[in-house]
Chains A and B, each alone.
Chain A
Amino acid sequence: GENVEQHPSTLSVQEGDSAVIKCTYSDSASNYFPWYKQELGKRPQLIIDIRSNVGEKKDQRIAVTLNKTAKHFSLHITETQPEDSAVYFCAASMGRGNKLVFGAGTILRVKS
Chain B
Amino acid sequence: KAGVTQTPRYLIKTRGQQVTLSCSPISGHRSVSWYQQTPGQGLQFLFEYFSETQRNKGNFPGRFSGRQFSNSRSEMNVSTLELGDSALYLCASSPRGGDGYTFGSGTRLTVV
* B-binding residues in A (CB < 8 A): 32, 34, 36, 42-46, 49, 51, 89, 91, 93, 95-105
Contacts and interface: CB of A to CB of B under 8 A. Distances in A.
B31 A98 contact: yes
Interface string B40-66: 001111001010000110100000000
A43 B97 contact: no
B50 A98 contact: yes
A51 B100 CA distance: 11
Contacts of A36: 103
A51 B99 contact: yes
Best-buried of B33, B35, B92, B98 by chain A (most CB within 10 Å)? B98
Interface residues of B, number: 24
A104 B35 CA distance: 14
Contacts of A99: 33, 45, 48, 56, 58
Interface string B87-112: 00010100001111111111000000
Contact of B45 (A46, A101, A103, A104): A101
* Most central of A44, A89, A103, A104 by chain B CB within 10 Å: A44
Contacts of B44: 102
B103 to A, nearest CB: 5
Contact of B105 (A34, A43, A103): A43
A105 B44 CA distance: 12
Contacts of A43: 90, 103-106
